[in-house]
Structure 1
């Protein structure tokens, strides 16, 4: 079940849309061991409003180019917080895109093509367990998908995201 248009995952408000998932497409090469090719597309049984003036839901542009290191972005989700409990309310954090070569110092060969890093080397702000699959948005474009990391908000270990522009052709071919 997919719930859209509400900030509280347990409360539906005016404009909330609930849909069952009719199917999911995922890459045949996904590896749980390495998190390589961590991308999928859900197809909903209920269509979304065609107008772009819906109260609480709007389409997002999928990024078709790489994002510059230092770009400021937002990650959101209902994942764990400091209390290790999943959040009831949708949370958002500002994060910065980190240069691949810098991120590779932390993650070594675990950081592969199709992944990007965002967060802060000082730690303190990050996505966390329960946020996986959530959006990393930069300049109103979907740039990344929350994938994995070393714990949450740990110094020296920013979050790892699936790079949307790297998989754009694959995503668009699922339509």
Structure 2
């Protein structure tokens, strides 16, 4: 956790999101009914204030990240837009599904070749599953639940 000093103007811009206490059922290939998006500043240019958002299909299973093996502590997202597009690699950014935080971006995985700055068809955004860390977070954040209901 990071503690920062903010002035009143900065504090007025803060928006809070709830963490999803239910999480996902393991081995679900497509999480139907979940509207998920990645949010962050990307790596396009230094000090660019433009916030980026990308709609994702999220999977939670051993083969969710294509050619990369995964486990219960990870979620994988794939862009819903087809074709080649600019890569969105933003470690530390939130994965938000149905208005609640479910993960934190930790790596861009590519099973095929990247074409310049564009991602290939088999590019996956890997996220740390927030549910896996509820016990630790609850030590530092008051009134944070100690566990997710679906994560056992």
TM range (shorter): 0.5 to 0.7
Q: How far apart, CA to CA, are the structure 1 residues paired with 2:87 and 2:137?
A: 23
Counterpart of 1:103 in structure 2 is 64
Contact (CA 8 Å) 2:60, 2:76: kept in 1 or not? Answer: yes
Paired residue secondary structure (1:149): strand
Question: 1:104 offset after TM fit, Å?
Answer: 4.9
- 8 Å CA contact retained: 1:123, 1:158: no
- Equivalent residue, structure 1, for 2:150: none
Query: Once the 2 structures are TM-superposed, how far is the Cα of residue 96 of structure 1 from its aligned partner?
Result: 1.3
- 2:23: which partner in 1? 66
Aligned counterpart, 1:17: none
Match status 1:157 vs 2:123: yes
- The two structures have a TM-score, normalised by structure 2, of 0.65
On the 8 A contact 1:106/1:157 being kept in 2, the answer is: no
Task: Tell me which of 22, 33, 38 is aligned to 1:75.
Answer: 38
Rounded Cα–Cα distance in structure 2 between residues aligned with 1:163 and 1:117: 9
**How many residues are paired up?**
125
* Structure 2 unmatched ranges of 5 or more: 111-117, 142-152
CA change 1:164–1:126 in 2 (3 A) is: farther
Distance between the aligned counterparts of 1:160 and 1:87, measured in 2? 24
Separation in 1, partners of 2:132, 2:72: 8
Instruction: State the shift of 1:103 in Å.
Output: 1.6
The offset of 1:55, in angstroms, is 5.3
Q: Equivalences for 1:131-150 in 2 at 5 Å?
A: 131-150=90-109
Structure with the larger RCO, 1 or 2 (CA within 8 Å, 6+ apart): 2
Cα pair 2:65 2:124 within 8 Å, conserved: no
Change in Cα spacing, 1:86 to 1:96, as seen in structure 2 (3 Å) is farther
